[in-house]
Amino acid sequence: AFLHGFLEEEIYMAQPEGFEIKRGSDKACLLKRSLYGLKQSPRQWNLRFDEFMRGIKYTRSAYDSCVYFKKCSDDTYIYILL
């Protein structure tokens, strides 16, 4: 899941072992998406999930940020617990 988060800042990392190119072994990789192990990954995933849920008309609970709900037309509710 963390691989789908977008990064807000530029993050560079050393080339992984086995990926080095002879002409560019001194170069670094620019990350375009979050990776497991980055401190930002959980937060970026959560921001993207929240944006999606709000896009499909769910409301985030004011009491618990892991709860989303949506009122249906027949006065029933749908709850999603993250």
User: What average pLDDT does the segment 7-31 reach?
Assistant: 77
Q: How far apart are the first and last CA of the chain?
A: 13
Count of domains forming the chain:
1
pLDDT band at 2 (very low <50, low <70, confident <90, very high): low
27-56 in b/e form (b: 16+ CB < 10 A) is eeeeeeebeeebebbeebbbeeeeeebeee
pLDDT for residue 60 is more than 80: yes
CA distance 66 to 82: 5
pLDDT for residue 20 is more than 70: no
User: What's the whole-number average pLDDT of the chain?
Assistant: 85
> What is the extent of the structural domain holding 29?
2-81
pTM for the full predicted model: 0.69
Q: In the chain, what percentage of residues exceed pLDDT 70? A: 89
Assign 57 to helix, strand or coil.
coil
